[in-house]
Amino acid sequence: MQSHTSEFKLYDKIKLGCVPNLLISVLINSGYDIAPIGAMWPWEFILYEESTPDDPWDTYPVKLVKCVTGDTLSLLYGISVKSMYFSDAGDIISAMSKHMQEGKRCIVAADSYYTPYMYKHVYQHRHWAHATMPLWFDEANSQVYICSADPPYQGNVLLKDFYTMVEKSNVYWLMTISVPPMPKTLDDKFVHEMFHKQLQKTYDNYFVLEGHCKNVNYSDDLCNTWAKLREIKDTGEQLKSFKELLKGDAGYYVHRKGQLLIEYLSTDYVRTLLQSPEEYIELVEQQNRLWKTVYNILYLAEGRNRIGDSLDKAINKMSLIIENEKTLLEKILHSMRRLAC
């Protein structure tokens, strides 16, 4: 079993979360170029107000639209990704074994509390949702070789511990990934056209729709959400709402997802097409720094009494983010229009 340890490479260059990093790892280990994943606008959000999402894991009031999804992988690479839920721990273990025997990669939900390789402050201290990928089972030695993105880990776990991790999870969730035997050759023009549509959709949000009749949320919507929270007068309710907002992805992964856009803008095809993308890359890097600052403002403010002041600072930074985002959109689209003429 140890001979397999160097065969699967974990992608951890950009930390996007448990599942996205494992999916990208599967792509890389299957011989795919991952740069096209960055051909998506990074700053799209899902805002949950009062309704509860169907997915038991999507319970945060603010979510960042994921760039690494089953639909994206199917569109770009012809890879089939399926999520399934079970009501019984035994059923999910059986299903996982069956799919792995068929040659599919599997990602399974686990409870961090029972995960031996988890961070020390979490293991046997906190019940957090975790996703992990079993790569090989060694029944003879009662072990399973695991790949985890957060925390980064590749190594053996006792079978009994692995089964406990899965059985104690608050949701019996399994994702299967079916990869074609031959890597699909990506059409650079197709990917760039997809990127163009993303840009145009976002541009319409800021300059055409102006917040009306749209089904996607952007940075300005998030800023408006924070502004509404700022208006809450009751301190206790404000603190509660503030902590709920902090649970979301409103900053933590945003600047990391922006890094994927830089990866795409740095490809040879885009460099040739846009001639000099350094200006755009610098604007994205500026966005990433601003988003990281916003998250730090909110994160450091948790537990303090002056929540309102922190929200004011975050809202002020968000105004810079929105203006910078508009500038970036206009510059890239202008360059594309010039090339089309």
> In whole angstroms, what is the distance from residue 256 CA to residue 258 CA?
5
Place of tokens 């009031």: 61
**Residue of 303, 331, 297, 302 whose CA lies nearest to 317:** 297
Query: What 3-state DSSP class applies to 50?
Result: coil
Structure tokens at 194: 């997809």
Place of tokens 């922006």: 258
Q: Tens digit of pLDDT for each residue in 153-181?
A: 999 999 999 999 999 998 999 999 999 88
**pLDDT reported for residue 234:** 67
Q: 154: which residues sit within 8 A by CB, 6+ positions away? A: 5, 8, 10, 145, 146, 147, 148
> In whole angstroms, what is the distance from residue 312 CA to residue 238 CA?
13
Domain parsing of the chain, residue ranges: 2-8+81-175, 188-340
Q: Tens digit of pLDDT for each residue in 31-45?
A: 999 999 999 899 988
Q: Domain 2-8+81-175 classified CATH 3.90.70.10? A: yes
Whether residue 113 contacts residue 123, with contact meaning beta carbons closer than 8 Å, is answered with yes
Burial of 124 (0-12, 13-18, 19+ CB in 10 A): exposed
Q: Tens digit of pLDDT for each residue in 268-308?
A: 999 888 877 899 999 999 999 998 888 888 776 665 556 67
State the DSSP H helix or E strand holding residue 334, giving kind and residue range, or none if neither.
helix 307-340
Q: Tens digit of pLDDT for each residue in 204-214?
A: 888 886 655 56
Q: 0.75 cut: is pTM over it? A: yes
* Amino acid residing at 149: A
Burial of 180 (0-12, 13-18, 19+ CB in 10 A): exposed
Per-residue confidence at 50, pLDDT binned at 50, 70, 90?
low
Backbone phi, psi, residue 47, to 5°: -110, 115
Burial of 139 (0-12, 13-18, 19+ CB in 10 A): exposed
**pLDDT reported for residue 7:** 82
Whether residue 85 contacts residue 172, with contact meaning beta carbons closer than 8 Å, is answered with yes
